[in-house]
Structure 1
């Protein structure tokens, strides 16, 4: 077994999207090869309705898949295919934009006004960029959850893990998308396919992710005297951890435990031509997409 090195640890950056939604972006609109097949990851978390209620009005997508995971509040959505619905706390929507779709997403807070969710963009290989759009809406109750003897809890949203298979399937990048909670002070190792790109996103508590060159024992020590945890190099709220190659990661939870997303996928290794919500392989394809948006031929008839 080989431990994946930690290539980079960085905080998500505040930004604004849609009609004025305040959110934090962990990555996106930079080097698309960095986390290929993933292009962008946003954490939209607010306690003030004025920071999110304007939402994400009608906008196009082509050539990608968007994965929306709601933790609190709701998101109303509708699209050019006539679909509409609402995502609630714990629900997931996987949208394959394919040849093109127009949709809108309007977040609403819970009874306390809180809204929290994530959106991940996955690239599509050239052979699938012009496929028919489709949705997979999954209710939270249908997402399998596994609990280990030490109290570690994992929601398996996509992929296979600890004998469970997530309900979302048929995704180009064949990803694994896990929501992991580890109790205070517990050290845990997770296996990841060697050929996948992988990252973690910490959104509650703290943890130390072991580096191949630095054993976990030096990251977190327990004092004999007050049984207090001395924390070094801990990753906390809104932190992206990007891993190198290997087949496992080891994480040590901090004194209040930790919750993070662990996401991996098979790289596509194709050229990327990207502007806003449209991602193609060549500049010519990108220009064609925007030309079709202007002349009304962007949405393709169903076959």
Structure 2
């Protein structure tokens, strides 16, 4: 496994005072086609109970994955869903979405989850929004004889003899996502993916790479193109694998809007102020 870069998540807040760990990529240097990886992980309600009240998006895809706890999602398209532990949600915002994500009232054991932003090709940024989740069709998973589990969050994955196909298909930039759980003392090997950008985010425990580096939680490994994935964990670990094809296009970013020019961002602001994004 060949690692080209290691990035570290930093503590920040978003929404109504929600504490998160973030790896941003709005400069397009390292994460393209991904824009941001936010991890929400706390057993203290005051870190997340403010949630994310009603707000707009344009020009991105939001990908939410919950490991513990949950949120209620609402949007102007009429979707109202409880996204709980194990669930995945994908929203291709296109020309505009208004939505909110608020912690479920019955969340008692803390919250652990992700919101990941994927950039959209410039030609698709003004298409109609799309919404999908796995609440009725769970993300498929397979556990091998060593107890290693791969859960296909989006796209199709080959894990040993098993082909795992998520119900979430057609993400921007050919994006794929999976969650891998390694028991203590176990390893996982995946052949190179076809996508040019492949990254590994450690969200639990720690891993040991093929060159004997120990990498703790909160780190993002960016692999060289065509690299395989070969990791071990002494104490056990959970990792996200993110893959996609870089868009190599300009990024104009202002808050919840990501377009390719500043003029497009300014138009998004005007459209939002004029009420063209609708209401929940």
Same fold flag (TM > 0.5): yes
Distance (Å, rounded) in 2 between the aligned partners of 1:188 and 1:86: 32
Tell me, yes or no, if the aligned pair for 1:90 and 1:140 is still in contact at 8 Å: no
SS at match of 2:249: coil
Q: 1:299 to 1:271 in 2, by over 3 A?
A: farther
SS at match of 1:81: coil
Tell me, yes or no, if the aligned pair for 1:75 and 1:107 is still in contact at 8 Å: yes
Q: 1:103 to 1:151 in 2, by over 3 A?
A: same
Distance (Å, rounded) in 2 between the aligned partners of 1:17 and 1:269: 27
Residue-by-residue CA offset, 1:211-235 (whole Å, 9 max, x unaligned): xxxxx4xx1xxxxxxxxxxxxx311
Q: Out of 35, 39, 42, which is 2:38 matched to?
A: 42
Q: Out of 240, 264, 278, which is 1:285 matched to?
A: 264
Tell me, yes or no, if the aligned pair for 1:35 and 1:198 is still in contact at 8 Å: no
Q: Out of 130, 137, 144, which is 2:140 matched to?
A: 144
TM superposition shift of 1:140: 7.9
Tell me, yes or no, if the aligned pair for 2:26 and 2:251 is still in contact at 8 Å: no
Alignment partner of 1:160 is 2:163: no
Residue-by-residue CA offset, 1:256-298 (whole Å, 9 max, x unaligned): 1211111111111111111111011111111111111122234
Alignment partner of 1:185 is 2:165: no
Q: Where do 5+ consecutive residues of structure 2 fail to align?
A: none
Aligned equivalent of 2:202: 202
Q: What pairs with 1:1-303 in structure 2 (closer than 5 Å)?
A: 3=1, 5-25=2-22, 27-28=23-24, 30-108=26-104, 112-139=108-135, 142-162=138-158, 163-210=163-210, 216=211, 219=212, 233-254=213-234, 256-299=235-278
Tell me, yes or no, if the aligned pair for 2:91 and 2:130 is still in contact at 8 Å: yes
SS at match of 1:169: coil
TM superposition shift of 1:194: 4.6
SS at match of 1:135: strand
SS at match of 2:215: coil
Distance (Å, rounded) in 2 between the aligned partners of 1:65 and 1:111: 26
SS at match of 2:32: coil
Tell me, yes or no, if the aligned pair for 2:155 and 2:170 is still in contact at 8 Å: no
Distance (Å, rounded) in 2 between the aligned partners of 1:33 and 1:125: 17
Distance (Å, rounded) in 1 between the aligned partners of 2:80 and 2:156: 29
Q: 1:122 to 1:193 in 2, by over 3 A?
A: same
The CA RMSD over aligned residues, in Å, is: 1.9
TM superposition shift of 1:239: 1.8
SS at match of 2:225: coil
Q: TM-score, normalised by structure 2?
A: 0.92
TM superposition shift of 1:30: 4.3
Distance (Å, rounded) in 1 between the aligned partners of 2:136 and 2:203: 19
Distance (Å, rounded) in 2 between the aligned partners of 1:269 and 1:293: 27
TM superposition shift of 1:252: 1.7
Distance (Å, rounded) in 2 between the aligned partners of 1:131 and 1:111: 35
TM superposition shift of 1:37: 0.8
Distance (Å, rounded) in 1 between the aligned partners of 2:136 and 2:42: 21
Residue-by-residue CA offset, 1:114-165 (whole Å, 9 max, x unaligned): 1111010001101110111111011286211112222211001112222111
Distance (Å, rounded) in 2 between the aligned partners of 1:45 and 1:111: 13
